[in-house]
Amino acid sequence: MNASGNNEVRLTTSTGEDTEAAWFPGDRGFVFRSTRGGSADLWVLNLDEAGTPDGAPVRLTTNSASDIQPVVSPDGKRIAFASNRDGDFEIYVIWANAPEGPTNKAVRLTTNTAVDGDPDWSPSGQQIAFTTRRDGNDEIYVMNADGTRQRNLTQNPRTDRHPSWSPSGKQIAFERDGIDVFRDIFRMRADGTRQVNLTESTDAVEADPNWQPRPD
């Protein structure tokens, strides 16, 4: 649909669930999670100049586990996602230009017995922020795009989830459980300092932040 909320156009049609769409640069296609193949896998749909489907969706990943939460790198060449294909949810990266196979294997970036998910690329493409439960509760971590130098940014006893990099790469927005039953939207510097509550709600849930595409 248009940013104003009108002119809604249906892009996918299947008997499965099509969710979690993430744009490629240039608005000419997106990757999404779908169960149309029998399991939760990643599919890519290209769009023409008018914004309508340019052919049928192409299956990117194929396995009997769940591949979810895809995000496209800033250059459009790689896709980070969460998958439980190795027993528990971890962060993986795969090239976006070909289906998964012998010449395009998904690379595992995290390795632990806790749940890792919610990946988000930094604007430079050099880092990935993500949520992990490895410290006993959900925290926001960041790592290099090759999986090295994984470190905790939030270090808070409350639940922190869904990191979202600002367009400049200087800040990260995320959600945090409050002292009551509700969640709020926070922001912090990319190094984890200066964590600020932006919503401070006591009677509603605010979650899943995302930045508008202009410098912050």
pLDDT (tens digit, 9 = 90+) per residue, 168-202?
999 999 999 976 668 999 999 999 999 999 998 77
71 forms beta bridges with 80
pLDDT of 214 reads 73
Does residue 199 lie in a domain region? yes
Does residue 75 lie in a domain region? no
* Sheet bearing 90-95, strands edge to edge: 67-72, 78-83, 90-95, 107-108
Does residue 51 lie in a domain region? no
Residue pair 67/81 in contact by the 8 Å Cβ criterion = yes
pLDDT (tens digit, 9 = 90+) per residue, 89-105?
999 999 999 999 999 99
- CATH label of the domain that carries residue 208: 2.120.10.30
Number of domains in the chain: 1
Does residue 48 lie in a domain region? no
Residue pair 125/157 in contact by the 8 Å Cβ criterion = no
pLDDT exceeds 90 at position 111:
yes
Does residue 117 lie in a domain region? yes
d(CA 181, CA 205): 8
d(CA 79, CA 61): 11
Does residue 33 lie in a domain region? no
Task: Give the predicted TM-score (pTM) of the model.
Answer: 0.94
Domain that holds residue 142: 109-216
Q: Quick one: tokens of 105?
A: 């294997």
Does residue 95 lie in a domain region? no
Does residue 127 lie in a domain region? yes
With H, G, I as helix, E, B as strand and everything else as coil, classify residue 57: coil
Q: In the chain, what is the greatest distance between 2 CA atoms, to the nearest angstrom?
A: 51
d(CA 8, CA 109): 37
Q: Which of 15-19, 49-53, 175-179 has the highest mean pLDDT?
A: 15-19
Over residues 93-121, mean pLDDT: 96
- Say if residue 65 is exposed, middle or buried (CB neighbours under 10 Å; 0-12, 13-18, 19+): middle
